[in-house]
Amino acid sequence: MEIFSNILIYFVIVPILTMAGLALCQNRGIAAIRAVAVTGASALMILAAYLVYYFLQARGAGDNSEMLLRTDVTWYAPFNIRLALGVDGVSVVMILLSAFIVFAGVFASWKMNPLPKQFFLWFYLLSTGVFGFFISIDLFTMFMFYEVALIPMYLLIGVWGSGSKNYSAMKLTLMLMGGSAFLMLGLIGIYFHSSADGNLTMNILEIARNNAIPHNWQMWLFPLTFIGFGVLGAMFPFHTWSPDGHASAPTAVSMLHAGVLMKLGGYGCFRVAIYLMPYAANELAWIFLLLTGVSIVYGAFSACVQTDLKYINAYSSVSHCGMVLFAILMFNTTAMTGAVLQMLSHGLMTALFFALIGMIYGRTHTRDIRDMGGMMHIMPYLGVGYVIAGLASLGLPGLSGFVAEMTIFIGSFQHADMFHRVLTIAATCSIVITAVYILRVVAKLLFGEVQDPHHAQLTDATWEERLSTATLIAAVAAIGCFPNFFVNIISDSFLPIVKALGQFIPVA
Amino acid sequence: MESVGNIILYFVIAVSIIVFSVLTVTTRKILRSATYLLFTLFATAALYFQMDYPFLGAVQIAVYAGGIVVLFVFAILLTQQPGKDQQQMQSTRRALALTATLLGVALTAYCLFSYANFAGKIVPQAAEFDIQTIGRFLLSTDKLGYLLPFEAISILLLACIIGGVVIARKR
Amino acid sequence: MNLTLLMYLVPSLIMFGCGVYGFLTRKNMIAIMISLELMLNAVDINFVVFNRFLFPGQLEGMFFTLFAIALAAAETALALAIIINVFRIAKKVDINEINKLKF
Amino acid sequence: MPLNFTIAVIALPLLMFLFLGLAGPKMSRKIAGVIGTLGMLVTTIIAYGVSLTYFFGDAEGQIADGVRQAVVVFNPDWLSFTKTLVVRMGIMLDPIAAMMLVVICTVSLMVHLYSLGYMCDHHGHAEKGFQRYYAFLALFTFSMLGLVVATNLFQIFIFFEMVGVSSYLLIGFYYSSPAAKHANKKAFIVTRLADLFFLVGIMILSYYTGTFDFDKLVFGPNGANSLETAGSAIASAGGQTFLGCSVMAWALTFIFIGGAGKSAMYPLHIWLPDAMEGPTPVSALIHAATMVVAGVFLVARLFPMYVIEQGAMDIICVTGAFTAFYAAAIACVQSDIKRALAFSTISQIAFMMTSLAVSSAGGNLIEIHGGTGLGYMASMFHLFTHAMFKALLFLCAGAIIHAVHSNENSDMHGLHKYMPITSFAFLIGCLAIAGIPPFAGFWSKDEILVACYEKGLGWGLWMSAVAGMTAFYMFRIYFLIFHWKEHKIHTEHAPADQPWTMTLPLIILGVISIVAGFVPAHSLVTWDGAHLHTQLNWTVAGTSVAIACVGIGLAYRMYFRENNLPQRMADSCRGLWTAAYRRFYMDELYQFITHKVIFQSICKPIARFDRAVIDGFFNLLARASRSAAYGIRGFQSGDTQSYVFVYYIGAIALALATIICVAL
């Protein structure tokens, strides 16, 4: 089969094989389950690393096609649905990010109890969806993988979660499904206007080339699609699933969800909504810019008064993910590159945060910062990890957050329009508020006196926890120290989009 | 013109059908209800006889009056303390049911009488079939033969028997 | 005075109406079955009447009624078996008290 | 020494940080400290070599058109925003960078050495976290060095953040103490707020000029600061205005605010006194000598642009002059010696700022802008000398605190007898800061005052008065610590001079404080690289020395022997005294704004709004659909008769509809 000669399909096959391997394991054979899970995660890491290498080689060799590694297999002929694969720079880094987080997530859920086998099964199903989404360039396939990624969340939170998990799982699933409903309407609309000559197609590249969606339809389809993806990207006011969902989810799921799944939203926003409907994107951008601008500041302010570690982080995610969408809507290569960097950065550091919170919670059995203090004495490794994650989040140079935020701010500020520039300055204010809530929690949680004498007996991180966090910290630092490596991979991917938008933006 | 006897007979039958039907559904005692049903069925059988379908009338009496009603009586006796009144539905519900019924009847009646020109004029024509003919029809495979339905209904009855046994079996 | 089609249909209609009324208002399942028989019977009459008045040379209506009677018998027998069985288990025959399929 | 050895100067502390940070916990505390100190020693030697080569060598490419060029030794791309707008991580030597290398490395080395003694308990055992401490010191040194050698504005911003965070980590070194935990949070957030302005300033500046690089913003073709380059950079904004001011004035003001945050200019100074919660050597390094002058350095870097945008320069001038006075006034009444020194630092940095701001560059644009660039030179010179004597003062304070275990001067008194070396070193520092010849401070402060008088008599008098206050409050501290009265506690636990690791830095810095004034700054760190002809203005010098002597005399009268004069004076203007002691309630104001306004009136309502309204809306949706479902559930009652009824009604309705349709 032609398709199996494409490396991309293995990003879907490997998780599926892992699931098959897990299914063969004994329910109680924890060692075997771990071995299979780790093997799968490592295989994904290796694949992702190879993909990056391949991509750099191909680009270096002068292959300037929009998407590399194209394969097109008809799947369902009547609607012209295809299994169309292809990656550009953005997909490549997103795949790399996902591989990292899956890897770290496996180690973070090392002691998962009960039902470890089933947990990892669902976990890998979720990864299947995530990887499938990033490698697809066919709307239907993309949407299918998107749904595949969403559904396991319900079970993962509902079964392995904590706190009011039923409520949270239901809320998260329903809100995201609501988003999917919008999205599906949008996608169907796009499909029926995908071509002027009646050769309807689902392939994103072809739709973009045809550029046939009538403007009045774009005005309807763009908001549908953008909101559909925006819900997953925690866009204000559709973000409320995020605090509850994250608070209840088990560690690895929070990691994967905040780390990767929320990125599906941002990725979809530009790959589908903006790329295919540039006219409407340009006309309606200001509405969504305001919403995401609000999101940035609002999330940060909300995070300032939360007392639950996970809520703080969830609201901080709202703020940071708002920045992703904000930058995407600025329609220039720099800001969009910044958005992708922010996706990477936020993915890694939120995963790190959630991993650490999970580890702390697993020891103290509380996430309320008012009940904790002086953790730095008790668990220095986790404490240092938390400080690093915090510094990454508030944008310390040398860690990923700084690079991403600065690219976004500088890029957004390049916009010729005064409205955009003023909005950018408003969004910039979030860096101070971020510092406030991050330092507040660091001071409360890690510094000061030990609040609860029971905490004094707790132990520091075990080896698998160290491995999990160290992987993420290394990645965060890598992006922070060598940003140009990533920028070079990413930035060219936006040329087609910026070009598509360019026809509607008045030249400054 | 019909003979006067026939007309009188018709009215007796019609009135008893109507009266016993109404009584069947209005009486409070279920055993009486079954009895009135029996009378209604007898009246129906009489109607068949009057319309020159003696075989049908015979079947009606044998199966319905003789079989089904007896079954009812057995069931009633098995499940009911004799003499105990049935509980009534709430009056609102009865009123609602009555309204709906009357509405349906009125509607049908309207349809019937709107065809009164036709339906009110047409009269029965005599055509006697003897049992032999009926039997031949029933078991023939001709164009107008009824062997297939006959066999189908036999299978159905068989299934019913089996079903009845299964249901009635003591667990 | 002639005995017309209409004259035969009217008692049948009333009988059917009674059946409907009974079906809707009775609580006892056996009573409901009785109402059902009334309705079936009304329909049987219609078949026979139409056969006699409109197609006297044929026997379709009669045979239909014949089969309907057979069906009614089978159905009643089965239904009563079920009712008795339910009564054995639940000790009641009122339809609004038996609203769960499992006990 | 080749100039590209500068890379080693930057890289060594970074390696030290990584090494001590990662491997530190595995090694013994003392060894970690010694390794850190040795590393710093090597760094310092290289830095000296590089600086000397830069200032006095005449290798090819260093001098062009008779002025010293800025030399870029290393400048790879780090982050490309666009094809043209690229952040580079470079190393550039120019006079002020070379000078800063010396300052930073000297003070840092002294602090490294000093900490070997200071961070030990009385039995000579190193404290817990010793490795961490040295790692952070190295990180700070790296960040500060990176800042001063930056080749572009964005790099400065990056290292602004880095020094901010190392300062945060070092202030919070004793993280168990609640005071430290609040102090470092406060320091970070306040400087972060300033950095926000800095960032916005950079965004505006880069938007119009399309670059971050200094060689496109301020350096002329001959590699020295050039008003033409700055003028064309400013002109690239095309004279656009925003709210009545030119956008470049906004940008430069914002950038200044960034610098003001780090340099603790009013009203962003509130973090600095609290930052004294950190270990005292850290205060000496970061909060007295190096990091706090980052703002001054920043303004000096962009000096030509400020010269052209006089509006922004005026803001700096007013802020500096006011802060100098304000901080001096507070310093006069503080009882905690580290706080008093902190306010003294604020005041001195304000001197430097003012000096920069009153200096309008000379050269061919003299007709337009006036001035000779004297202030620039004076400011940089003062930066240099101040770093030395302020570090000395702080290290002395550290020695005292280490000896008596208290920051309050009421616990000290009469230490002269017990700690003669420390006392002597402190006296040198005080004389230097007070501006008594021939100590370092005299020379630099004198130049500043001259520059102020050049700007206008008012500015000169104002600053002279503040200089007098400086002499007064420094000697107040000195007398209160070392004289005033015999403290009876000391007779039981006699405090003494500290071990050699702590006294040696005092002696070295003391010597430097005496001789540093003779460094020929006017030929080394001028704004355009050219030699600046200056001569001692005896009128100004004489006045300032006289004023200083008056200040010292007043302090002597009030504080040398125990008496009730200070108490009487405090009582006579109780309100003013309390206000100054409480630092004019700035902290309370900030407390009010952050807690009452931002937390209570913005954050809490937003969080509640989120839960109640937005989340409430979605919960309402959920509840509405649930109740709708309950409503519809009635239809699926399991009640056969209802089904039949509905079915029957439906059939009738259908029949009726058919009839009506047929009838129509």
CA of D557: how far to CAs of D286, D435, D471, D546, D563, in Å?
34, 19, 13, 16, 9
Residues 6+ apart with CB under 8 A from A353: A313, A386, A389, A393
Last residue of a domain, one of B86, B103, B138: B86
The span from the CA of A37 to the CA of A16, in Å, is 11
What pLDDT is stored for residue B15 in this prediction? 93
What is the pairing mode between strands D63-64 and D71-74?
A: unpaired
Q: pLDDT digits over D563-600, tens only?
A: 777 777 777 788 777 877 777 778 888 888 888 888 88
- On chain B, the residues whose CB falls within 8 A of the CB of C74 are 156-157, 160
Helix (H, G, I), strand (E, B) or coil at D120: strand
Q: What is the pLDDT of residue A507?
A: 46
Question: Which residue, among C13, C18, C78, C94, would best test binding to B if mutated, counting the most B CBs under 10 Å from its CB?
Answer: C18
Give the span between the Cα atoms of B157 and B153, in whole angstroms.
Answer: 6
| Residue range D474-483: mean pLDDT, rounded | 84
Q: Does C66 touch chain B (CB under 8 A)?
A: yes
CB contact under 8 A, C27 and B156: no
CA distance A13 to chain D (A): 36
The pLDDT score that the predictor gives to residue D122 is 67
Percent of chain D at pLDDT > 70 equals 94
In angstroms, rounded to a whole number, what is the distance separating the alpha carbons of residues A20 and A120?
11
Nearest CA distance, B5 vs chain D (angstrom) = 38
Nearest to C31 among B52, B86, B121 (CB): B86
Contact C76, C33 (CB under 8 A): yes
What number of other Cβ atoms are within 10 A of residue A295's Cβ?
30
Contact D649 B97 (CB under 8 A): no
Contact B107 D656 (CB under 8 A): yes
- Give the residue from chain A lying closest to D625, CA to CA: A174
- Whether the complex's predicted ipTM is more than 0.85 is answered with no
**Same domain flag for B33 and B56:** yes
Please name which of D93, D87, D58, D57 lies closest in space to residue D74, comparing C-alpha atoms.
D93
Tens-place pLDDT, residues D255-289: 999 989 888 888 888 888 888 888 888 888 888 78
| Contact status, residue A31 vs residue A155, Cβ threshold 8 Å | no
Determine the Cα–Cα distance for residues C90 and C77; give it in Å rounded to an integer.
20
> Which pLDDT score, from 0 to 100, does residue C42 have?
94
- Kindly tell me if the per-residue pLDDT of D490 is higher than 70: no
The two structure tokens encoding residue D346: 């604020």
Angstrom distance (rounded) from CA A31 to CA A166? 30
Of D383, D493, D390, D391, which Cα lies nearest the Cα of D114?
D391
CA-closest candidate to residue A391, choices D157, D16, D162: D162
- D64 pLDDT higher than 80: no
Tell me if there are at least 3 CB pairs under 8 Å linking chains C and B.
Answer: yes
C5-90: in CATH 1.10.287.3510: yes
Residue D367 has pLDDT above 60, yes or no: no
Tokens found for residue D62: 């260093």
What was the pLDDT predicted at A492? 82
Structure confidence by residue, pLDDT tens digits, D103-138 = 899 999 988 888 888 887 766 677 788 888 889 989
Nearest CB to C30; choose among B44, B72, B168:
B72
What integer pLDDT is reported at residue D653 of this predicted model? 92
Token pair in block for residue D229? 């380059």
Specify whether the CB–CB gap between B21 and B13 falls below 8 A.
no
Chain C residues with a Cβ under 8 Å from any Cβ in chain D: 20, 23-24, 32, 95-96, 99-100
Cβ A497 vs Cβ A420: under 8 Å = no
- Domain identity same for B51 and B118: no
The pLDDT assigned to C103 comes to: 44
Residue count (chain C): 103
3-state secondary structure A430-478: HHHHHHHHHHHHHHHHCCCCCCCHHHHHCCCCCHHHHHHHHHHHHHHHH
Q: Which DSSP string do the residues of D375-399 spell out, in sequence order?
A: HHHHHHHHHHHHHHHHHHHHHHHHH
* CB-CB neighbors (< 8 A) of C6 in chain B: 112-113, 116, 119-120
Using H for helix, E for strand and C for coil, what is the string for D43-86? HHHHHHHHHHHHHHCCCCCCEECCEECCEEEECCEEEECCCCCE
Select the residue of D645, D656, D659 nearest B97 (Cβ to Cβ).
Answer: D645
Q: Are the Cβ atoms of D648 and B96 closer than 8 angstroms? A: no
Chain-centroid distance of CA A31 in Å reads: 30
State yes or no: pLDDT of D635 exceeds 80. Answer: no
Of A74, A86, A176, A63, the closest CA to residue A134 belongs to A86
Element (H, E) at A71: strand A68-76
Degrees, nearest 5: CA angle A318-A319-A322: 80
**Given an 8 Å threshold on Cβ–Cβ distance, is C24 in contact with B59?**
no
Which of D537, D154, D166 minimizes the C-alpha distance to A410?
D154
Answer yes or no: is pLDDT of B171 > 70.
Answer: no
Are residues B52 and B38 located together in one domain of the fold?
yes
Residues of C in contact with D640 (CB under 8 A): 95
Q: Which of A270, A221, A215 is nearest to A88 (CA)?
A: A270
Query: Are residues B72 and B98 both part of a single domain?
Result: no
Q: How far apart are CA C13 and CA B17, in angstroms?
A: 11
Eight-state DSSP code of residue A72: E
What integer best gives the mean pLDDT of chain D? 83
CA distances to A196, A386, A445, D163 from D138, rounded to whole Å, are 65, 21, 26, 11
Verify whether the Cβ–Cβ distance D652 to B96 is below 8 Å. Answer: no
Partner chains of C (3+ C-beta pairs under 8 Å): B, D
Regarding whether B15 and B79 lie in a shared domain, the answer is yes
Q: Which residue range forms the structural domain that includes residue B136? A: 128-171
Q: Are residues B146 and B93 in the same domain?
A: no
Q: Which residue of B has its CA nearest to D655?
A: B107
Residues B162 and B102 in one domain: no
User: Do D341 and D390 touch, CB atoms closer than 8 A?
Assistant: yes
Q: Are residues B117 and B165 in the same domain?
A: no
Separation CA A117–CA A19 (nearest Å): 9
Q: Token pair for residue D144?
A: 């500060």
* Residues in contact with D553: Cβ distance below 8 Å, sequence separation at least 6, in sequence order: none
User: Which residues touch A78 (CB under 8 Å, ≥6 apart)?
Assistant: none
- Residues B111, B167 within the same domain: no
Of A327, A189, A205, A220, the residue nearest A283 (C-alpha): A220
Instruction: Tell me what pLDDT residue A455 has.
Output: 76
In chain D, residues with a C-beta closer than 8 Å to the C-beta of C100 are: 638
CA distances from residue A279 to A188, A219, A368, A502, D168 in whole angstroms, order as listed: 18, 8, 47, 10, 48
Is the CB of D176 less than 8 angstroms away from the CB of A396? no
Contact A95, A493 (CB under 8 A): no
- Whether residues B47 and B105 fall in one domain: no
pLDDT at D579: 78
B118 and B162: one domain?
no
Closest chain D residue to the Cα of B103, Cα to Cα: D652
pLDDT for the residue D450: 83
Mind telling me how many Å the CA of B86 is from chain D's nearest CA? 17
User: Is the peptide bond prior to A237 cis by the omega test (within 30 degrees of 0)?
Assistant: yes
Q: How many CB pairs under 8 A join C and D?
A: 17
d(CA D201, CA D211): 13
CA separation for the pair B103, B107 (Å, rounded): 6
Q: Name the band, by pLDDT with cuts 50, 70 and 90, for residue D501.
A: confident
Cβ separation D652–B107 shorter than 8 A: yes
Q: Report CA-CA distances (Å) from B112 to B48, B120, C5.
A: 21, 9, 10
The residue behind tokens 């009338």 is B57
In this structure, how many other beta carbons lie within 10 angstroms of the beta carbon of residue A422? Answer: 13
Q: What is the mean pLDDT of chain B?
A: 85
| B39 and B116 belong to one structural domain | no
pLDDT 10s digit of each residue in chain A, 508 long? 677 888 888 899 999 999 999 888 887 788 888 999 999 999 999 999 999 999 988 888 887 777 888 888 888 888 888 888 888 889 999 999 999 999 998 888 888 777 888 889 999 999 999 999 999 988 898 999 999 988 888 888 888 888 888 888 888 888 888 899 999 999 999 998 888 887 888 888 888 888 888 888 888 899 999 999 998 888 888 888 888 888 888 888 888 888 888 888 889 988 888 888 888 888 888 889 999 988 898 889 888 888 888 889 989 988 998 999 999 888 888 888 999 999 999 999 999 999 999 888 888 888 888 888 888 888 888 888 999 999 999 888 889 889 999 999 988 888 878 888 888 988 898 888 899 899 988 888 888 888 777 777 777 878 888 888 898 999 999 998 898 888 888 888 888 888 888 777 654 4
Mutate to test the interface with B, among C36, C37, C51 (most CBs of B within 10 A): C37
**CA triplet D435, D436, D441: central angle to 5 degrees?**
35
D197–chain A nearest CA distance, Å: 9
Strand D91-93 vs strand D71-74: parallel, antiparallel, or unpaired? antiparallel
Cβ atoms of A183 and A170 within 8 Å: the answer is no
Q: Helix, strand or coil for residue A198?
A: coil
Closest chain A residue to the Cα of D603, Cα to Cα: A301
- Tell me if D645 and C95 make a contact (CB, 8 A cut-off): no
pLDDT for D480 beyond 80: yes
Contacts of D637 in chain C (CB under 8 A): 99
Is the pLDDT at D370 greater than 70? The verdict is no
Contact D279, D170 (CB under 8 A): yes
Identity (one letter) of the amino acid at D415?
L
Contact of D32 with D24, CB cutoff 8 Å: yes
Tell me: cis bond preceding D267? Omega within 30 of 0 counts: yes
Query: How far does D607 lie from chain A, in Å, by closest CA?
Result: 5
Nearest chain A residue to D614 by CA distance is: A237
CA distance B1 to B7: 10
Domain CATH for B37? 1.20.120.1200
pLDDT recorded at residue A345: 92
| pLDDT band of D364, cuts 50, 70, 90 | very low
Residue D622 has pLDDT above 60, yes or no: yes
Q: Is the Cβ–Cβ distance between A202 and A194 less than 8 Å?
A: yes
Spatial separation of the C-alpha atoms in residues D564 and D558, rounded to whole Å: 8
Chain D residues lying within 8 Å of B110, measured CB to CB: 659
Shortest distance, CA D130 to any CA of chain A (angstroms):
15
CA D373 to chain centroid, in Å, comes to: 24
pLDDT reading at D241 higher than 90: no
The predicted-structure confidence for B33-44, as pLDDT tens digits, reads as follows 999 999 999 999
Q: Is D646 on the interface with B (CB under 8 A)?
A: no
CB contact under 8 A, A447 and D180: yes
